[in-house]
């Protein structure tokens, strides 16, 4: 119990630090959100109207510490204010509409790349030095080093614009009524997600492959693996029941960190494919100086990262008896 309390204390302090940066960074940007809101107005806007709009949207001109306390109160009550660019929608509504799409794309990409990379890593380690290992291990590592924007653009120009096999953007066909009980709508969403999913997952496969391969190679030299082989156990049983099972433990941390970073790590893919996720919302909020949405977006990303890191710590202790005894 003491171990978990110490970890919770650490993550709570990290959350406070991140929340403070979350407050400072948007305000360090040049420009005022309300002024930009009226920048293209055709009629003259009076200072009184601008002041009234600032008060309505929750922007105060008082000392910075007063703004900070108002911000902390909004975080604790999860009342994140009203969006400037999507007025009168609340920040909760704006982020809620985008969060589901980002979670679907990012979560699917991480799970797909983790599964594929782990399986390939197991076989690469078991057949170390074979043609499979020689081709896939350095090949996927090379793909991992390619910037995600390059892969996304290549997929877009080749399969969407050039061959016309897939749509060039959006999460589903414009004009189609969202209905998750309709098989037609589900197929349309899956069809639109093919290219973004490939772009988001292919760069992560190499990392999981090398991680699993190295873990497996280290474990294959252990005495219990040699004993299992000496007992005449089948190859599949030795690989999956003995070696891969223990090699998966370090991968839990890698998977949790990947899940934590996934929500904010797919911004480039979402922008290129015009996918209505949090990445697109973040870019629009930066351009509009929408402090409320920026703060809410960064807060969601921070909470997501801290939650999955805490989950990794707990799972590691549960799965590894040695750490459980020490904790």
DSSP 250-279: HHHHHHHHHHHHHHHHTHHHHHHTT--SHH
Would you state the pLDDT for residue 233?
Answer: 65
The answer to whether residue 48 is domain-embedded is no
Q: Note the pLDDT tens digit of each residue in 27-37.
A: 676 656 666 66
Q: Note the pLDDT tens digit of each residue in 130-177.
A: 777 787 777 877 777 778 888 888 888 899 888 888 888 788 888 777
Give the separation between CA 163 and CA 170, rounded to whole angstroms: 18
pLDDT bin (cut points 50, 70, 90) of residue 265 is: low
The answer to whether residue 62 is domain-embedded is no
Would you state the pLDDT for residue 209?
Answer: 80
The answer to whether residue 5 is domain-embedded is no
Q: Which tokens go with 321? A: 């008896």
Using the predicted structure, report yes or no on whether residue 327 has a pLDDT greater than 60.
Answer: no
Give the separation between CA 229 and CA 6, rounded to whole angstroms: 42
Q: Which residues of 230-240 are buried (b: 16+ CB within 10 A; e: fewer)?
A: eeeeeeeebbe
121 phi/psi in degrees, rounded to 5: -65, -35
The answer to whether residue 118 is domain-embedded is yes
Using the predicted structure, report yes or no on whether residue 3 has a pLDDT greater than 70.
Answer: no
The answer to whether residue 217 is domain-embedded is yes
Would you state the pLDDT for residue 124?
Answer: 79
Tell me the whole-structure pTM to 2 decimals: 0.72
Using the predicted structure, report yes or no on whether residue 234 has a pLDDT greater than 70.
Answer: no
The count of domains in the chain is: 1
Using the predicted structure, report yes or no on whether residue 229 has a pLDDT greater than 80.
Answer: no
| Mean pLDDT to the nearest integer, 274-303 | 80
| Mean pLDDT to the nearest integer, 39-47 | 62
The answer to whether residue 142 is domain-embedded is yes
Would you state the pLDDT for residue 96?
Answer: 82
Looking up residue 246, the CATH number of its domain turns out to be: 1.10.3720.10
Using the predicted structure, report yes or no on whether residue 240 has a pLDDT greater than 70.
Answer: no
Domain encompassing residue 276: 91-326
The answer to whether residue 233 is domain-embedded is yes
Would you state the pLDDT for residue 225?
Answer: 66
Closest CA to 109 of 225, 259, 280, 214: 259
The answer to whether residue 18 is domain-embedded is no
CB 291 within 8 A of CB 27: yes
């Amino acid at each position: 119990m003491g171990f978990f309390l110490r970890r919770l204390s650490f993550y709570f302090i990290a959350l406070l630090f991140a929340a403070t940066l979350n407050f400072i960074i948007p305000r360090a940007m040049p420009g005022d959100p309300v002024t930009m809101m009226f920048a293209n107005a055709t009629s003259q806007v009076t200072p009184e109207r601008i002041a009234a709009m600032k008060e309505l949207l929750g922007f105060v001109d008082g000392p910075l510490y007063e703004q900070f306390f108002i911000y902390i109160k909004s975080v604790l009550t999860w009342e994140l204010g009203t969006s400037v660019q999507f007025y009168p929608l609340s920040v909760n509504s704006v982020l809620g509409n985008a969060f589901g799409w980002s979670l679907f794309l990012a979560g699917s990409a991480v799970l797909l790349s983790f599964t594929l990379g782990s399986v390939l890593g197991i076989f690469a380690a078991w057949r170390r030095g074979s043609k499979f290992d020689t081709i896939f291990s350095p090949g996927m590592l090379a793909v991992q080093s390619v910037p995600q924007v390059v892969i996304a653009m290549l997929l877009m120009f080749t399969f969407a614009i050039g061959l016309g096999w897939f749509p060039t953007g959006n999460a589903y066909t414009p004009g189609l009524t969202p209905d998750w009980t309709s098989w037609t709508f589900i197929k349309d969403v899956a069809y639109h997600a093919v290219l973004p999913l490939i772009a988001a997952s292919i760069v992560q496969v190499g990392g999981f492959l090398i991680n699993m391969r190295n873990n497996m190679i280290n474990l294959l030299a252990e005495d219990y693996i040699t004993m299992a082989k000496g007992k005449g156990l089948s190859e599949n049983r030795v690989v999956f029941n003995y070696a891969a099972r223990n090699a998966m433990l370090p991968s839990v941390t890698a998977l949790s960190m990947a899940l934590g970073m996934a929500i904010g790590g797919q911004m480039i893919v979402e922008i290129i494919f015009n996918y209505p996720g949090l990445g697109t919302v973040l870019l629009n909020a930066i351009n509009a100086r929408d402090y409320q949405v920026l703060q809410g977006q960064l807060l969601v990303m921070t909470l997501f990262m801290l939650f999955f890191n805490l989950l990794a710590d707990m799972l590691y202790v549960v799965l590894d008896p040695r750490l459980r005894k020490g904790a």
